[in-house]
Structure 1
Amino acid sequence: MLEIGALNSLQTDKKSASLLQSYKVRDEVLQGETSIEPILDSIPAGIIIIDEATHEIIDLNKAALEMLGVPKKYVVGKICYNFICPSDKGKCPITDLGQEVDKSERILLKAGKEKVPILKSVKKSFWNGRRCLIESFIDISDRKKMENQLRSMVDEWQKTFDAISDFIFILDKDFRIVKVNQSLCMALGKNQEELIGKKCFEVLHGTSEAWHNCPYKKTLATGNGAVELVDDPRLGTLLVSNSPIFDENGNLLGAVHVAKNMSEIKMLEKELQQKNKILDLIAENIHAGLVIVSRDFHILWANKVQEEKKGCKLEGKLCYSIFMGRDSLCPECPVEEVFKTGKDEVRREVFVEDCGGKSEWIEIFASPIRDENGKIVAAMELVIPITARKEMELKLKQYSENLEELVKKRTEELLEAELRASILLEEASVGIAVIQHDGKIVFVNKRLLQLSGYSEDEILGHHYEEFVDKKYHDLAMNLLLKKLQGMPPLITEIELIAKNGERIPVEMSGSLIKYKGYPAIVVILRDIRERKLLQKQLLEIERLKAICDLALIVGHDLRNPLQAIANAAYIIRKEISNDKISERIMQALKVIQDSIQYSDKIARDLRDFAMTEPPKLEKLDINALVNEALAQIEVPTNIEVITKLGNVPKIYADKYMLKKIFVNLFMNGIQAMEKDGGVLSVSTRKRGGFVEITFEDTGVGIPEENLKKLFTSIFTTKAKGMGIGLLICKKF
């Protein structure tokens, strides 16, 4: 078996050449620093040059950039720890901990903090008069995956080896145990460490040398596998087989031994013999005929009862001839049906006459007899006399005919009433259940099954609290107790737990009934989800109407004083000469101007939110409108804007509304990346009969719990803003 380390060495060979080349070029770099960039980029391994004192990244080659997954301008000048290296500040393995990193397995942080395993070497040197660290590395992700796969394969092999119930062990040429499975360890009461290295005959048989009939002695002598039945005083009767192991030159190295414990098989053989004796006794003493018939309808065996009844030996005779006196198969022969259909049992009641003219009724049960492949090779007939039973059935029939007339009319009336009640219950538009005094459900109708998603078997016999939300248990219990005490009907709301976990609001009422002679409650459950949804929608409509009314008032009344403040600020700036105005006053005027602009934006947003005017459609160039919206926005320097505008047709739309949507979406993306920066992307393309505009950013994202609130009015997670931007987008 190959060891993991050996396989790792083989897997690394293909990358060793590129790593050695990187070391050679690195040494050349240390000797001369001119025209270095072409040399670095020619190296297939990653090269990064880092300032030793500040840990600032000075330069890196193309291979390193490809592994990091970011442009060079985002890397050069950055501090290496917690950027490309997972070590924290002050814990650098080379400069702080004094470690030597030479062909060591380390971790490289890619963009997005993805961790990549690498084989890394670091050497100290000088670069343009600065002490620096030159790191060279290669990606060993594939090797790591192969190592994990190999470990998994070894683990699976070991689990399989240990799971085999037979005793398995591997010996070398000196009879010493090299490998042993868990079954043998448990049988000997020892662990693997206690057995490996020991001679097999010492630990298995307690002898100083191999037994005379040892199969391994034969294998060592002949080079072939051997099998022997061995009676071991401790392990019982064993069937031992071995398979030789050879090296690549055909030299014998050892053998794999498999020892199957035959003690249990011998016990089973003994038990089988005893069971056969019991079956023979049953067959001979049963008060019924028992016959085994071949596929050509010859009798293979018959028990004593059947042979005494016919007065002769039956083996070899045709069944239809000896039993029925026929020259051909009996009509509706049960044995023939078993052969044709493969049914497990075919039953027939037959009236027969024997040779002496005596007649009787018999019942025949025919069953198939199959071989180990499931093929039917014969059939067994059990012949039971039923004449007495038939006579009794005839008498009972005569008695029952008199009773039938008496109960027929009443039965029809009861069935009709039961049918009407059943139809009413099953086809009702509400859920109906019957609950016993102990809380167990004994009846549910079709509508309740549809509502809950459960099958009838999953509900009947279960306590009703299993299907009611825990917070309503006391309420439901009080209602049922009041019903059992005969109090007037009550109606309340609870939540039903469906099979898929959904909480379904229902209106519950109930009445006291008698069920199978005992008091019970018939519970009516009405689904009120649609009513609840309509109530919620009505409240939201009323809330939005109030917000719209307020928005119109605020938007209108706010703009007049804003305009006055803006005019006053403008006059102040004109009246005060620039040489006399102080920096503090200038800042105060700027604050006033910014606040006016922000307040005006709020007023415009409120106006847009409350606006009910229909859109003014005109033919628009979407790509031009995207660029126009971008031109209105001040993009921070730490954010890169990427536009991918496809060849799309002009569309009819309201320019103001569409531009407002674009600006709001751009601003949301920028605000999500203000702190750490990122990339803002917008693309257009034709899709079917539509134009698709996609906005993307690499910001912090939206928490799961806020996704459902995106288009909720007056909802925001920002320090500034009213939370109506996306709502305006949706409204437009």
Structure 2
Amino acid sequence: MDELIESKPIPTNWMQQINQLFEVCFNHTNASVAVIDLHHQIVHVNKAYENMFGWTNDEVFEKCLKTVPAHEVERVKNIHSHVILHDKAQSYEAHKLRKNGDSFCASMTVSPLKDSEGHIFAFVEVVKDISDRRMEVVKLKESEERYRTLVELSPEPIFVYSDSKIVYANQAAFKLVGARSDDRLLEKLTLEFIHPDERNEFESQIAHLLKENKPSDIFEKRILRMDNQLINVEIRAVPVEYFGKPSIQLLCRDITHRKVMESIVRERDEEYRRMLKLLPEPIIVHQESIICYINDIGLRLLGAQDPSEIIGRNMFEFVHSDFHETIKERVKAVSLVDNYIPFIELKLLGLHGNPIAIEASSVVLHNYLERPVIQTVLRDISDRKTAEELLRQSEKLSVVGQLAAGIAHEIRNPLTSLVGFLQLIRSAPPQKRLEYADIMLAELNRINGIVNEFMLISKPQSSKIEVKNISDIISNVVSLLQPQALLHNVEIQFESIEDTVYRVKGDEGQLKQVFINLLKNSLEAMPTGGKIDIVLQRLGKRRISIRLKDNGVGVAEELLPRLGDPFFTTKEEGTGLGLMVCCRIIEAHQGSIRIQSKVGEGTAIEIELPCVL
């Protein structure tokens, strides 16, 4: 470049001219401006230049090429030479260096500066920082490249069409319509692939889309592939510009398999509903206590004619209040397992308030909105409960007969005392008569108590659920059976913590029958005498244990599983119903009964019942 520069004397007034130029332009513009002499040295800069590069006017003097990265120096010199040769301004982009060493992308315009005679004696360089713009361009290119790659490699079919013709399709779109990459898919009419019955609707949807100029909702269409195979597709249409023309981008998804599966599920669901509807056992489906479904036999059980009488109502409307807490606990329990929970006995109320004895078991079908949908199977056990009540009454009569001897012996003693005191009263003085009368009243009260307990067992009673102290019930039974125990030379010892109330919810008469039957069995197992221990204790906060242990003849181990079966007995004159009735009563009270026995060592029976806090 030095060869191109003709050495001429610098005009004497050139600094004055520059100063005038700076005064007029440089100091009143936001553009970064520098004056550079023909030897590439900075002569003067304005304030904007100082702000951009970080150098002051004094610091930047004779530093033009130091603001240029080393690899750009030759290029800058060539541009200066080009401006001199052609006497014409030139613009270019290059990297510049700030005082702190930072590099930035800049746009420069280099213009020749002439003296009054028209000779070029310097350059004016206007610099613009285009780093942000260049970054945006780079980001835009990267974004376009990513989008292009994303669209091309997308597993979802994408079409773009303009003027009703397909102008772009990715590989997944080719595959969707059964086309090869070398097929002339582009420029085909879009409607060629829409099922004829749906073409008018499709055109209306697209016209509405163009009018609204916003993406459509997802809609379904049937598409005819190039091999004439019919498939189901979900489509979302989006208005776009493609090469400057208004176009429509179709985002597609093949849902043929899903539609087939939905059809199968609908068929299975219909079969399942029909099966539930015709099942011989009542079925109720409920969620958060609201009945969602009930089958035909369930309607008959509750005395309803139409599902609308039941569906949508709270199931607790049809459950006896005594079992509300039990139902709530069962719903919690079934949510924790993946199977049916065991049947328990409950009492329902029909549509007209009539009580219905049932058994119920439940299972979670599925979770809808994170809330379990529960199916409950019901069994009407009214007939069975009637038969069991008859069995209990039969067993009571059997117990009464066997207790008759002990009761008669126990009553005979006070009667003998009464007869003797009556004879004494005839000849006794008045003072003694009062004493004799008190003794006679005590004996009569004793007889009355025995007779009352005896009548409680013998007469039929309706089930009455109440909260009772189980300790009092056992004490009454022990008092009742004490005469028979004395006849067999058996000691009954009942242990219970004093001042502790063991409250249970149940039927007092039925519970008394259980303990009478069990104590009677123990008495009969000790013909030569022995001892029966009864221990009552808590098992945690919610259950209690009643343990009866005797030292009778015991039961062979292989016979233990059969104890409680109807009509199975180890006694010569037994009916085989007593223990079965006991088991059924305890189960009905949500309790359990376990039996352990060894021949020659005796039998231990443990009963667990839920307690009331």
TM-score by length of 1: 0.36
Of structures 1 and 2, the larger Rg is shown by 2
Higher RCO structure, 1 or 2 (CA under 8 Å, sep 6+): 2
TM-score by length of 2: 0.42
